[in-house]
Amino acid sequence: MPDTAHAPSARRAAARLAALAALATVVACSDPDAGTSNSEETAAPAEPAAKVRITPEDGATKVRPDLPVVVKADDGATLTDVAVDIGGRKDAGADEMTGSFTKDKTEWRSDWTLHPGSDVTVTATATTPDDEETEVVSEFATREATKGRRLELKSNFPSSGDTVGVGMPVIVNFDLPVENKERVESAMEVTSEQPAEGAWNWFGDKTAVFRPKEYWEPNQKVTVDMRLAGVPAAKGAYGTKNHQLSFEVGRSQISTIDSDTKRMTVERDGEQVKDFPTSIGKASTRAYTTTSGTHLTMEKYDRLTMDSATVGVPKGHPDYYKLEVDYAVRFSNSGEFTHAAPWNGSLGQANLTHGCPNLAVADAKWFYDNSVMGDPLIVENTDRELEVDNGWGYWQRSWDEWLNESATGEADDTSKAGTPGSPHGG
């Protein structure tokens, strides 16, 4: 029995059957002995005014979803419009299929990949040099993604609707290892209201991170269209869904902690608004040394239990501690938070902590209340450097290094549509 799971639409099939039925009626009613003059001969179907070729061809089934849709006009004709409908998803956010014309408008190529297991309709309009217009339609079906080999989005930071700091990266976590990193990078389009250069880096095979060359311009909207459907993530593995993420970059707030001066200063939109006395890691061991470098605020708790067992100092160890702290703001994955420390009488005078910057209660509350995810927090003058993969230490990598680690190796201009590479498979 033939495979009809994704055959062309019933509408087209019905039209063809109707045409055959009409032809049968004509034959049955004809007199086989009657002569036919030239004037009575059935006219041959008229040739289209403009010749247009669409790939994949009409009626094709099990088409690879990572192949581009290509439309070409021949014999001097030019294309005026191409529309792609993927299972009714036309013009729906990240599911909209855009494409690019050549300069002479004789060819159009899709920018993105197709949804697996979908019926696709491509409608192309072309015009001859004599202004005769032709519309050509191709209907085909893409193959299904194999169960267990379907790339899915597991999580992302930030979330849609979030307001973030100027240092906030875009972090995308997948459920399967990605081998074709360049293809997946090229399927994720970042656009911002203010121009910026940016690029993706990978941390392992399941996490992709986008950051701009410089901090985001404040007070603007950033949109990420993750057009993963049909992208060849690995051999035999395809993305199945598209996703759109939209967030706001808020005011610029950049904080600096200096180990030497034992002060924490906060700048808001380029002007200093706070200067707090602090006490940071006593540096008797590496674990008790606050990391130097550009951190980002990650999350915050109005009350938090701090247990040294979570950072490798178990219960029973001479240095073990477990205490409740107020107004904690995380800035690494190695147990570093700013927080209130009413017991510390050495703020601004000595570094005596296990690594966390201690603050007076009122100061800690102000910082807690006024921090958002992605605010830069810079620590200076300790001898322990923040690792690029410790928390969100992504600004520790220089722009040249960051660009070199991108699978495409090219910067993306976020003020323009498109990405530096192609998501299509070979």
Give me the catalytic one of 6, 115, 295, 339: 339
Give me the catalytic one of 115, 243, 295, 356: 356
Residue 375 lies in a domain: yes
Say whether 29 is catalytic: no
Banded pLDDT at 52 (limits 50, 70, 90): very high
CA angle 373, 376, 380 (to 5 degrees): 140
- pLDDT, residue 90, reads 57
Are 298 and 383 in the same domain?
Answer: yes
Report d(CA 301, CA 81) in Å as an integer. 54
Residue 409 lies in a domain: yes
What are the angstrom distances between the C-alpha of 165 and each of 151, 169, 221, 309, 373?
30, 9, 12, 31, 6
Say whether 424 is catalytic: no
Segment 120-143 shows an average pLDDT of 96
The residue range of the domain holding 375 is: 253-395
Residue 387 lies in a domain: yes
Are 312 and 374 in the same domain?
Answer: yes
By three-state DSSP, how is residue 222 classified?
A: strand
> What percent of the chain has pLDDT above 70?
88
Report d(CA 44, CA 417) in Å as an integer. 46
Burial class (CB in 10 A: 0-12, 13-18, 19+), 223: middle
Sequence-separated (6 or more) residues with CB below 8 Å from residue 27:
none
User: Which CATH number belongs to the domain containing residue 233 in this structure?
Assistant: 2.60.40.3710
User: Are the CB atoms for 283 and 356 separated by under 8 Å?
Assistant: no
Residue 30 lies in a domain: no
Structural tokens at position 235: 């051999």
- pLDDT, residue 280, reads 98
Banded pLDDT at 6 (limits 50, 70, 90): very low
Indicate if the pLDDT at residue 285 is higher than 50.
Answer: yes
Q: Could you read off the pLDDT of 146-166 as tens digits, one per residue? A: 999 999 999 999 999 999 999
Are 265 and 339 in the same domain?
Answer: yes
Report d(CA 329, CA 340) in Å as an integer. 10
User: Are the CB atoms for 252 and 168 separated by under 8 Å?
Assistant: no
Are 258 and 352 in the same domain?
Answer: yes
User: Which CATH number belongs to the domain containing residue 89 in this structure?
Assistant: 2.60.40.3780
Structural tokens at position 200: 């993706």
User: Are the CB atoms for 115 and 230 separated by under 8 Å?
Assistant: yes
Are 379 and 272 in the same domain?
Answer: yes
User: Which CATH number belongs to the domain containing residue 287 in this structure?
Assistant: 2.40.440.10
Residue 5 lies in a domain: no
DSSP state of 189: E
Our CA dihedral for 50, 53, 54, 60, rounded to 10 degrees, sits at 120
Are 353 and 261 in the same domain?
Answer: yes
Q: How far is CA 166 from the centre of its chain?
A: 18
Indicate if the pLDDT at residue 35 is higher than 90.
Answer: no
Are 341 and 278 in the same domain?
Answer: yes
DSSP 230-289: T-EEETTEEE--EEEEEEEE---EEEEEETTTTEEEEEETTEEEEEEE-B-B--SSSTTS
DSSP 347-363: TTT---BSSSPEE-HHH
Domain boundary among 141, 162, 192: 141
Domain boundary among 141, 171, 204: 141
Q: How many domains does the chain divide into?
A: 3
Separation of first and last alpha carbons in the chain: 32
Q: How far is CA 373 from the centre of its chain?
A: 19
Q: Could you read off the pLDDT of 355-395 as tens digits, one per residue? A: 999 999 999 999 999 999 999 999 999 999 999 999 999 99
pTM of the model: 0.85
> Max Cα separation, the chain?
117
Are 240 and 327 in the same domain?
Answer: no
DSSP state of 135: E
Residue 14 lies in a domain: no
Are 110 and 208 in the same domain?
Answer: no
- pLDDT, residue 309, reads 85
Domain boundary among 112, 141, 170: 141
Are 263 and 360 in the same domain?
Answer: yes
Report d(CA 357, CA 101) in Å as an integer. 56
Are 353 and 300 in the same domain?
Answer: yes
User: Are the CB atoms for 89 and 229 separated by under 8 Å?
Assistant: no
Backbone angles phi, psi at 366, to 5 degrees: -60, -45
Report d(CA 404, CA 213) in Å as an integer. 12
Q: Could you read off the pLDDT of 248-275 as tens digits, one per residue? A: 999 999 999 999 999 999 999 999 999 9
Assess whether the previous peptide bond of 212 is cis (omega < 30° from 0): no
Residue 103 lies in a domain: yes
Are 266 and 306 in the same domain?
Answer: yes
Indicate if the pLDDT at residue 291 is higher than 80.
Answer: yes
Residue 12 lies in a domain: no
